[in-house]
Chains A and B, each alone.
Chain A
């Protein structure tokens, strides 16, 4: 390594003006706006599920959708705040209560609708459409959130990207609930918790590398 005074001289001569990072709440607002626009476009293209009004009347469905959306919102805010060097990493716990509620409502739904297991499950065509929805929602939202978090590459990337993955998983689950009729409870479990685990795992695994790509090399 070079001498520290030389390093300081080199850094100070390669220091163009920088655009200050917006406040985490503003960044979270932009990401959520992007998510709302994405879901709205998907809704226009595919249409909402036929029984949405009836489902929203049932407490468990409304709580599940509300909890997955709240998980997405709180995880997004938590990871953006915790990505800053002077903020506590305790912010990463912000989405945990909503996440527990979300998972518990899925479990409750399974218990109350257990009988529907015999209904034959989701047809292959519907499963493929579900998968397409997962990709259409999670890919752009993951990339957008990683772009907002690129400064975290040099600080605490693993936990931040995991929480970012939870935000994307929550929003994807909300999209699935709004656009797809998943009557078989086992499929609800697979699509909700399974997709959440897969997205969080993939985002945590590749997040660090993606954040590295998004950062310019040092002088």
Chain B
């Protein structure tokens, strides 16, 4: 989520007039040109996204959505046409999608105020959290190895299924099943433990 960091290894600043040529080279497989282009367009995308989203985290997520879409549809760019309208078209779609998703979510969600907390005293919450963490840790150790790995990577480390699959060498489908079964087992164990408490 860092702006200046994104300039690392990307070479000198790129003028927007060069974006079209860089994309043409990227389409031919020039990874360096592609990296320079993606780095150069990021501030422009941040400006578009920042105007639409009030939440900086949403704005940066939109920027990443746009970059992923640019990557997925880069073969649709025609180098004989201007690059900026092509990019702006994608940005408009992605920002609009996120705004709609956000609107749907906020229509369903209710934000909790302090008075909704069951225990206002911080000591109680800390003790409860520590107890929950210990319970979770014990429950995790009872899972089979495959499920433990899947839950740890996709839920605790918040990795995507594709990333976790790439790191473990297990297929996405198998990981999805292992995560689902692991979560079911955890839920059963934690509910039982809570009942016993």
Chain A residues at the B interface, C-beta cutoff of 8 Å: 1-5, 7-9, 11-13, 15-21, 23, 84-87, 151, 154-156, 215, 217-219
Given contacts A3-B1, A15-B26, A155-B90, contact A21 B64 (CB under 8 A): no
**B→A interface (CB under 8 Å):** 1-2, 5-6, 8-9, 26-29, 31-32, 34-35, 38-39, 42, 60-61, 63-64, 67-69, 71-79, 81-82, 85-90, 93, 162
Q: Which residue of B lies closest to A21 (CB)?
A: B76
Provide the bound-state CA to CA distance between A84 and B82, in Å: 13
A20 / chain B contacts, CB cutoff of 8 Å: 27, 75, 77-79
Chain A, interface SS category:
loop
- 29 residue pairs from A and B, CB less than 8 Å apart: A3-B5, A4-B6, A5-B5, A5-B39, A8-B35, A8-B67, A9-B9, A11-B67, A11-B68, A11-B71, A12-B32, A15-B26, A15-B34, A15-B71, A18-B27, A18-B74, A18-B75, A21-B78, A23-B78, A84-B86, A85-B76, A151-B75, A151-B76, A154-B69, A155-B90, A156-B93, A215-B72, A217-B162, A219-B71
CB-defined contacts of A17 to chain B, threshold 8 Å: 27-29
Having A9-B9, A17-B28, A21-B76, one finds 19 other A-B pairs with CB under 8 Å, namely A1-B60, A1-B64, A3-B2, A3-B5, A4-B2, A4-B67, A8-B6, A8-B42, A12-B31, A17-B27, A18-B74, A18-B75, A19-B75, A21-B75, A85-B89, A86-B86, A155-B89, A155-B93, A218-B162
Contact B29 A1 (CB under 8 A): no
Our pick among B1, B35, B76, B90 for the contact of A9 (Cβ within 8 Å) is B35
In the complex, chain B residues whose CB is within 8 Å of the CB of A84: 76, 86, 89
The answer to whether A151 and B71 have CB atoms under 8 Å apart is: no
Contacts of B69 in A (CB 8 A): 154-155
Whether the pair B76, A1 counts as a contact (CB closer than 8 A) is no
